[in-house]
Amino acid sequence: MATAAGQQLRDFGVRSLLTHVIMAAGLGAAVVSGLLFGESQVGLVSFVAFLNFTAGMWICQSIHALGNPEYSGVLNVLRDNVR
């Protein structure tokens, strides 16, 4: 039995939007960890780790978008869902 959230995640645009939110959170975490820990080794390592995670999510989104010919970009998905 599928829930409403599960049914909504089957839509490609919602999955794409969720991937973009994760990428934005990863990039934000990279900046915050870099600023929080300053120029220490921990700050550098955490910044690079979050940045690599964000880059990996970007690659996932690119592959995800290539597999769907109807995909027209996340901005169009946002425009269609905000109405």
45 membership: H or E segment, kind and range: helix 41-66
Domain count, the chain: 1
Per-residue pLDDT tens listing for the chain (83 residues) = 457 666 666 677 778 888 889 999 999 999 999 899 888 899 899 999 999 999 999 998 888 788 777 777 777 777 777 76
Q: CB of 80 within 8 A of CB of 72?
A: no
pTM greater than 0.75: no
Domain encompassing residue 33: 4-82
